[in-house]
C-alpha cells in the first residue's frame, strides 16, 4: 500500500489507525492542530486568505517592523495564553520518535511532548538581528507595554489572525524598542516567509524520516503521520515526499486538500484532535 493514494471517501479511520498502531512513528503537525486552542490557521476551511509579512519586508524599513510589532503585541496577549488541546495532549501520550511541528505556538512542549523539532521556531523567543542575542518574549512584551501604555486596551476588539497576528492597519504611533545590548532590530525568533529553515534542523528531520525504513527490534517498519497541515509550503512537504520516495507509509489527516494527497498511503478528512485521541488509545493499549 505504501505510496498508493486511496480516495478520501474510501479511507476508513480504523484502517488508518491500524497502520499507525505499532512501530516507529514520526509526526508532522501544522496549524490545523492548534485551531481547537483558539489559534486561527492560514488555510483551513474557516480561514480568511491573507498575505503574511515576509522577511524581506520586515528588514526593509523601521515602518514595516513597527507595523509588525504593533499587531504582534496584541496577538501575543491572546496567543501567549492559549492552552494545549486534546490533540496536543494525545501526541504527548503517543510520544513519537520525532514530532516535527510547523507551529510556533509552543503548545506541544506545554502539553509535555519531548522529542520536538519546532521547524519554524517559537514565538516565545525574540532575537536581535544585530548581535543575535535571544530574549524571552514575555520580557519584550513588558518593554512594549511600558512604551505603549493603553495601546492594548484601546485595540481590544481587533480580530485574531494566524501566528499571533491581528487585523489592524493603523500602527503609526506604536513604539518599538531596540535591542538593549546593541541597538539592533528585534524580531520574533521564528522563520518568516522568505527565510530558510536552518540546514541542521532539516537534516535531523530527514534522518528521522529515513530511519522509518529500518525495521525495529520486532521487525516493524515505521510510518509518517501528517496532521493538520495542507503542506502548502515546502518546509513540511519535503518530508512527506521523502517518506513516499522511501516507500514508507504516509498517513495524512487534514480537513481539506493537501499537496501530499496524491502520494499518501491514506488520507482522512477528520478532526485532528479526535484522530490523535483515538491513536493514543490504540498505541497505549
Cβ proximity of 210 and 97 under 8 Å: no
Place of cell 502548502: 232
In the numeric block, the cell 486511496 is attached to 6
Element of type H or E holding 189: strand 186-190
Is 179 annotated as belonging to a binding site?
Answer: yes
The one catalytic residue among 73, 120, 155, 189: 120
- Can you name the residues that pair with 207 across neighbouring β-strands? none
Cell numbers for 36: 481547537
The verdict on whether residue 205 carries a ligand-binding annotation is: no
Backbone angles phi, psi at 99, to 5 degrees: -115, 110
The H or E element containing residue 127 is strand 121-128
Indicate if 73 belongs to the active site: no
Q: What are phi and psi of 126, to 5 degrees?
A: -130, 135
**Which phi and psi angles does 225 have, rounded to 5°?**
-110, 125
SS3 content of the chain, % helix, strand, coil (to 5): 40, 15, 45
* Active site (catalytic) residues: 120
Annotated binding site: 128, 131, 179, 182
Annotated binding site for Zn(2+): 128, 131, 179, 182
Amino acid at each position: 500500500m505504501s505510496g498508493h493514494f486511496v480516495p478520501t471517501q474510501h479511507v476508513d479511520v480504523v484502517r488508518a489507525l491500524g497502520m499507525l498502531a505499532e512501530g516507529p512513528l514520526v509526526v508532522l503537525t501544522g496549524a490545523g492542530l492548534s485551531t481547537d486552542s483558539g489559534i486561527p490557521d492560514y488555510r483551513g476551511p474557516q480561514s480568511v486568505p491573507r498575505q503574511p509579512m515576509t522577511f524581506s519586508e520586515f528588514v526593509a524599513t523601521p515602518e514595516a517592523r513597527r507595523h509588525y510589532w504593533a499587531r504582534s503585541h496584541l496577538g501575543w496577549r491572546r496567543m501567549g495564553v492559549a492552552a494545549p488541546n486534546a490533540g496536543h495532549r494525545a501526541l504527548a501520550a503517543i510520544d513519537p520518535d520525532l514530532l516535527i511541528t510547523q507551529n510556533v505556538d509552543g503548545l506541544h512542549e506545554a502539553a509535555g511532548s519531548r522529542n520536538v523539532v519546532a521547524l519554524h521556531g517559537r514565538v516565545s523567543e525574540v532575537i536581535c538581528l544585530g548581535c543575535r542575542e535571544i530574549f524571552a518574549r514575555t520580557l519584550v512584551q513588558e518593554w512594549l507595554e511600558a512604551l505603549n501604555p493603553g495601546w492594548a486596551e484601546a485595540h481590544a476588539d481587533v480580530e485574531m489572525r494566524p501566528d499571533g497576528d491581528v487585523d489592524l492597519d493603523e500602527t503609526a504611533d506604536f513604539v518599538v524598542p531596540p535591542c538593549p545590548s546593541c541597538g539592533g532590530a528585534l524580531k520574533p525568533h521564528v522563520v518568516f516567509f522568505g527565510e530558510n529553515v536552518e540546514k541542521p534542523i532539516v537534516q535531523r528531520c530527514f534522518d528521522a524520516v529515513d530511519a522509518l525504513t529500518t525495521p525495529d527490534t520486532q521487525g516493524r517498519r515505521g510510518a509518517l503521520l501528517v496532521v493538520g497541515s495542507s503542506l502548502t509550503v515546502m518546509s513540511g512537504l519535503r518530508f512527506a515526499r521523502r517518506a513516499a520516495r522511501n516507500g514508507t507509509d504516509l498517513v495524512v489527516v487534514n480537513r481539506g486538500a493537501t499537496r501530499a494527497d496524491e502520494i499518501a498511503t491514506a488520507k482522512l478528512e477528520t478532526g485532528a484532535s479526535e484522530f490523535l485521541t483515538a491513536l493514543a488509545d490504540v498505541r497505549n493499549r
